[in-house]
Structure 1
């Protein structure tokens, strides 16, 4: 079997409120104001597909949120999204690989975040056979093409794959392709799924 893991809130806990908190502290824009304005819109999607640079992305988000931040300040906030790794998921990934299963990561992410998490959480890369990143592929979930490309590269059929993600849209898109998919609503879901198998 091919096991496909999302990164954020599946393997590593993330929290965008932490990002907004840092930006609020640095800019003196009230946190409530930032929360009301922040959305993962088109510039967010362009960044995750690798279509715009980190600097252009920072400019666009600062403009959307009314922030006056240097790129370094923006980046400091952007990296604050990472809370910590879920060791129980890392253990599951290693166990699957020990059993001869194929384990990959498929993440909507961006270069700025990839300057941070691989060195901060080296155990993530060590637990996967391969990592597929949206900015390298020029595609992002839930675009069906990103799943199809992964299946093609891995040489597995949809029926031979299981996908774990915290976003209902991503899960729905994978299911439509015939990939068995499990929505991860909290940290207990994955360990419970494997305990039952």
Structure 2
């Protein structure tokens, strides 16, 4: 079987409120204002597809949110999204590989984040056969083509794959391609799935 794991809130806990907190400290814009104005809009999506640079993304977000930040200040906030690894998921990924299954990560991410988390959490690369990143593929979840491209690259059919993600739209996108998909709603979802469906 092919097991596909999302990154944020599946393998690693993330929290965008931490990002806003750092930006608020640097910009002196009240946290509540930033939380209201933050949207994952066109610049966000283009950045995840690798279509705009980190600097252009930072400029666009600062303009959208009316923040005056240097690029370094913006980046410091952007990296604060990562909270902690979920060791129980890492352990399951390793176990699946030991049993002969293929284990990959599929993440909507961006260059700024991939300059940070692989060094911060080397356990992720150690637990996965391959990591697929939206900005390298030029496409992002929930678009059907990203799932099809991954299946093609891995030489698996959709009915041989199981996908874990915390975003309902991404789950629907994978289901439309025919992949069994599990919505991760908390830290207990992934261990709970394997407790009920031992490999």
Who is 1:112 aligned against? 112
Who is 2:145 aligned against? 145
Across the two proteins, how many residue pairs are aligned to each other? 197
2-side partners of 1:130 and 1:12: how far apart? 17
Deviations for 1:101-123, whole angstroms, at most 9, x for unmatched residues? 00000000000000000000000
What SS does structure 1 have at the residue aligned with 2:100?
A: coil
Mapping of residues 153-164 of structure 1, within 5 Å: 153-164=153-164
Who is 1:103 aligned against? 103
1-side partners of 2:176 and 2:73: how far apart? 41
Runs of 4+ in 1 over 2 A off after TM superposition: none
Deviations for 1:125-181, whole angstroms, at most 9, x for unmatched residues? 100000000000000000000000000000000000000000000000111111000
What SS does structure 1 have at the residue aligned with 2:109?
A: coil
TM-score (norm 1): 1.00
Mapping of residues 150-189 of structure 1, within 5 Å: 150-189=150-189
Structure 2, unpaired ranges of 5+: none
Who is 1:17 aligned against? 17
What SS does structure 2 have at the residue aligned with 1:136?
A: helix
Instruction: Report the CA distance between 1:196 and its aligned residue.
Output: 1.1
1-side partners of 2:49 and 2:151: how far apart? 19
2-side partners of 1:186 and 1:120: how far apart? 22
Instruction: Report the CA distance between 1:184 and its aligned residue.
Output: 0.1
Mapping of residues 1-197 of structure 1, within 5 Å: 1-197=1-197
Structure 1, unpaired ranges of 5+: none
2-side partners of 1:142 and 1:173: how far apart? 5
2-side partners of 1:62 and 1:178: how far apart? 39
What SS does structure 1 have at the residue aligned with 2:106?
A: strand
1-side partners of 2:25 and 2:125: how far apart? 32
TM-score (norm 2): 0.99
